Amino acid sequence: MAIRKKKTSIVGAVADSVTEAVSTAIGAIAHPADTVQQAVAVARRKVAARRPASKAAKAKQAVRKAVKKAAKKVRR
């Protein structure tokens, strides 16, 4: 027997997203402490994800600074 592909429509997709949003809102109202903990966890993950990028940027900046200093010495 052939597997039938699930048909999705715009109306069905909107209904699914509205249902999910409502259930998320109800869950947040029912359990505010859990919601705060989740928000803090997400914020920490975002900060942790930025750290390596900022370290790389600092390293690049240090290299540029060293190159500029060396170029100044050469000019003298």
Regarding pTM above 0.85, the answer is no
Local structure of residue 7 (DSSP, 8 states): P
CB 28 within 8 A of CB 35: yes
Q: How open is the CA angle 68-63-60, to the nearest 5 degrees?
A: 125
Rounded CA gap, 24 and 59, in Å? 42
Rounded CA gap, 37 and 55, in Å? 28
> Which structural domain, as residue segments, surrounds residue 35?
10-75
Residue 19 domain flag:
yes
Domain count, the chain: 1
Closest-CA residue to 25 (of 36, 13, 35):
35
Residue 61 domain flag:
yes
Residue 2 domain flag:
no
Residue 3 domain flag:
no
Residue 29 domain flag:
yes
pLDDT in tens, 16-69: 888 888 888 888 788 877 777 887 888 877 776 666 667 777 878 888 888 888
Residue 1 domain flag:
no
